Amino acid sequence: MFGHDNTSERRSALRAAIEHRGYTVMTVSPDGGDEALRWFAYTVGLWPARQWPELIVFGLDHDDMARLLTAAVTQVEAWETAPKDGMEIPAVAGGASLKLRRLDPRFYPEHLGWANWYAAERGLAPPAGLQVLWPDEHGRFPDERLCDEAVVVRQTPVSDGKQV
C-alpha cells in the first residue's frame, strides 16, 4: 500500500494534524527507481469530519498537489456544500480550474490507505474517493475529448506499479 506506515508515532502525528484542521493531506512519493507516475496526494479526515468523500490528485509535484487539495477543500467549504462527481471548481491553485470525478473503487485500498485506517479507527466504513483533475494548457480535462495525452497519462492511477 503506497505511503501506508503502521507505526504509532505516525498514527499520533496523523491524528494531531487532523484534529488541528479537520483533515490533512498525505503526499506519496515514488520509491527509488519508480516513475513519477506514482506521485499522488490525498486527504485524510474529510469522511469522518464532514461525511465527504476523500479527495485524491495524481501527477504533479507533491507540494503543488497538497496546495491544490487544500484549495479545493477551502473552495467547496465556502460554497457550503459537499464535493460531488462532476463538480467544477473555477480558478483555484494559480488560476487553473479543477474538476472532481469519481475515483474507481478498485483504487481505494491501494491509494487511500491512511484515510481507510482513520475511518476504521472511528468505526466508519471506508470512505469514497473523488479524483481532482487538473486541465491541460487548453483547459481540457483528462475525461474530455482532445485533452493532451501526456496530461491524461500523468493523472491515470497506477496500481501495483502499472498504469491502468
In this prediction, residue 8 carries a pLDDT of 87
- Distance from C-alpha of 163 to C-alpha of 94, rounded to nearest angstrom: 28
Q: CA–CA distance from 89 to each of 72, 79, 98 (Å)? A: 7, 10, 5
Q: Count Cβ neighbours within 10 Å for each residue of 102-117 and write b for 16 or more, e otherwise.
A: ebeeebbebbbbbbbb
pLDDT tens for the 164 residues of the chain, in order: 334 555 888 899 999 999 999 999 999 886 666 554 568 999 999 999 999 999 999 999 889 999 999 999 999 999 999 999 999 998 765 678 999 999 999 999 989 999 999 999 999 999 999 999 999 999 999 999 999 999 999 998 866 555 55
Helices (H) and strands (E) in the chain, counts: 6, 8
pTM tops 0.85, yes or no: yes
Q: CA–CA distance from 3 to each of 23, 89, 103 (Å)? A: 17, 27, 18
- Distance from C-alpha of 104 to C-alpha of 122, rounded to nearest angstrom: 23
Amino acid at 70: T
